Amino acid sequence: MFVSYILSKIRSYHSYRKTVRELSQLSDRDLSDLGIARYDISRIARAAAFA
């Protein structure tokens, strides 16, 4: 049980990092089209990964 909890946290963190990396590669214009400000990337990734 403890191991599965740790593994789920690791998967969530990897999902968070992947989302941050992908959104960070977008241009400001692309982010604007999506309604995302560059400073919101971390918050959005956290909400997506740990929800």
What are the structural domain ranges in the chain? 2-49
pLDDT at 51: 79
**pTM given for the model:** 0.86
Nearest to 14 by CA among 22, 4, 25, 2: 22
Which residues have C-beta within 8 Å of that of residue 19, sequence separation ≥ 6?
A: 44, 45, 48, 49
**pLDDT score at 1:** 87
How does the average pLDDT of the chain come out, rounded? 96
Phi, psi of 25 (to 5 degrees): -80, -15
What gap in Å lies between CA 18 and CA 49, rounded to an integer?
10
Q: How far apart are CA 33 and CA 5, in angstroms?
A: 37
Per-residue pLDDT tens digits for 1-51: 899 999 999 999 999 999 999 999 999 999 999 999 999 999 999 999 987
